[in-house]
Amino acid sequence: MLASAGERSGYELAKRAEHTVAHLWTPSRSQIYKVLPRLVASGFARTRKVEQDRRPNKALYDVTPAGLEALRAWLEEVEEEPADQVVFPLKVFLCDFASPETALAQLAAYRRFLERRLEAYEQLETDTAGSPRGYPEHVLQHGLTRVRATLAWVDETTAAIESDLATATSRRRGGSHT
């Protein structure tokens, strides 16, 4: 996972993001290098300078307990109308640092957000029915298809997490789950 990987340089963090979370969000290297000193200044990360032969010295960064607590607090914060809808799947992606209940809360909020978006798109579709078909309609169909597919993903993911929770609860009680 990104935050539990131990010490990493900014370059290593960027490479790790490319191989883990890039399908959702890809921070630029310049963004990473701007944010790391701010995380250190806020006490969310610590840094250690490493001298290197034949290469420039580098800084290694590691998350602090306060940083992990801030991450958990952010994960548990449910936004009904985030500025960017990638927030929901990104928070679910990082829920190894929170709880299954946190993931379910994020998914439920994402579902509500998507339902509002679907309703708006369907109203737009109704309002434009009978108009000459054109490129805007094709783009609207793209939006409708994408929202419906994402709603299906939310439902599948919610069911999987709930099943995992039921299995874990059953095991803790000493029973079996079928």
- Residue given tokens 């783009």 in the structure block: 139
User: What pLDDT was estimated at residue 175?
Assistant: 63
Sort strands 58-63 and 45-50 into parallel, antiparallel or unpaired: antiparallel
User: What pLDDT was estimated at residue 172?
Assistant: 85
For the chain, what are the domain ranges? 1-74, 77-173
User: What pLDDT was estimated at residue 85?
Assistant: 84
User: What pLDDT was estimated at residue 46?
Assistant: 97
What average pLDDT does the chain have?
92
* Average pLDDT rounded to a whole number, residues 71-77: 96
Q: Which of 60-74, 99-113, 127-141 has the lowest mean pLDDT?
A: 127-141
What is each CA distance from 84 to 17, 96, 170, in whole angstroms? Answer: 19, 21, 37
pTM: 0.84
Using alpha carbons, select from 48, 39, 104 the residue that is nearest to residue 71.
39
Residue 128 has pLDDT above 90, yes or no: no
Q: State the DSSP string of the chain.
A: --TTS-SB-HHHHHHHHHHHTTTT----HHHHHHHHHHHHHTTSEEEEEE--SSS--EEEEEE-HHHHHHHHHHHHPPPSS-SSTTHHHHHHHTGGGS-HHHHHHHHHHHHHHHHHHHHHHHHHHHHTTTSPP-HHHHHHHHHHHHHHHHHHHHHHHHHHHHHHHHHHHHHHTT----
Provide, rounded to the nearest whole percent, the portion of the chain with pLDDT above 90.
77
Instruction: Work out the pLDDT band at 6, boundaries 50, 70, 90.
Output: confident
pLDDT digits (tens, 9 = 90+) for 43-56: 999 999 999 999 99
* Average pLDDT rounded to a whole number, residues 122-147: 91
Domain 1-74 has CATH 1.10.10.10: yes
Residues 6+ apart with CB under 8 A from 115: 151
Describe the crossing of helices 65-76 and 100-127 by its angle, rounded to 10 degrees.
40
User: What pLDDT was estimated at residue 99?
Assistant: 94
Most confident of 111-120, 125-134, 167-176: 111-120
